[in-house]
Amino acid sequence: MIAPLNQNMPLAQFQHNKLSGGILKDLGDAIGHRLGRGVVYVSVASEQVSDALAAGMADGICYVRPFWIDGQYDWSRPFIADAEVVASQQDAPPVRSLADLRDRPVGTVAGYRYPRVEQVLGLRFQRSESATMEENLRKLMAGKVLHTVIGQATLAYQMRTNPALKLRQDLVFASFKAQCAFSKKAGVPFGQVNQAINGLIDDGSVDAILGRYR
């Protein structure tokens, strides 16, 4: 399974660039257990995820959506609920709509796609790129940007586990359910993997995993 290096908790925790915890590991381990297989996590830079998956360097990746990555894959049903939000410094001007971000530097993560923001702002979307979401949050706290686009689950987790992270959730602009994508060159038949995932969803195992991080 692919572990994108630009992710952070609650999705992924890395030690020496190796996935060591988080939702992606718990979910991957559960899928492997259901299949009776061990799981190897392949750490991949965000811009290389599509190429690695298409080439069969790994069997699959979770917490993705079809327009986040290029290529043709086998997709699970949507099941990981989250939302895209605008987070701001406490003293920043309020953001009541995406249009308020016109011409303002916005913290973003390299390799992430923000189609709804791009649709609204077009060329007036000023991305201030960071390599990871963690670096993005540090930039926000340091005042280098006043706003960032971030997953709601990530923002909630980071604010709960780091009291010094005094941020404001201004705007929820896109709710979604993420999926798992599997390479056409995967070593495990997709039918088996999909059956395992559906079983984990239906018996409450996925909710139990997600609940650990809420």
Residue 173 CA to residue 98 CA, distance in Å, equals 8
The stretch 123-131 carries a mean pLDDT of 94
Residue 165 pLDDT > 90 = no
pLDDT level of residue 173 (50, 70, 90 thresholds) = very high
Instruction: Write out the DSSP string of 175-207.
Output: EEEEEEEE-TT-SS-HHHHHHHHHHHHHTTHHH
Residue 7 CA to residue 72 CA, distance in Å, equals 23
**Residue 195's pLDDT is what?**
98
**Residue 47's pLDDT is what?**
86
How many other CB atoms are found less than 10 A from the CB of residue 101?
A: 23
The stretch 173-187 carries a mean pLDDT of 95
The stretch 168-172 carries a mean pLDDT of 94
The stretch 177-197 carries a mean pLDDT of 96
Residue 214 pLDDT > 90 = no
Residue 177 pLDDT > 90 = yes
Residue 132 CA to residue 109 CA, distance in Å, equals 6
The stretch 21-33 carries a mean pLDDT of 98
Q: What is the pLDDT of residues 44-68, one digit of tens each?
A: 998 899 999 999 999 999 999 998 9
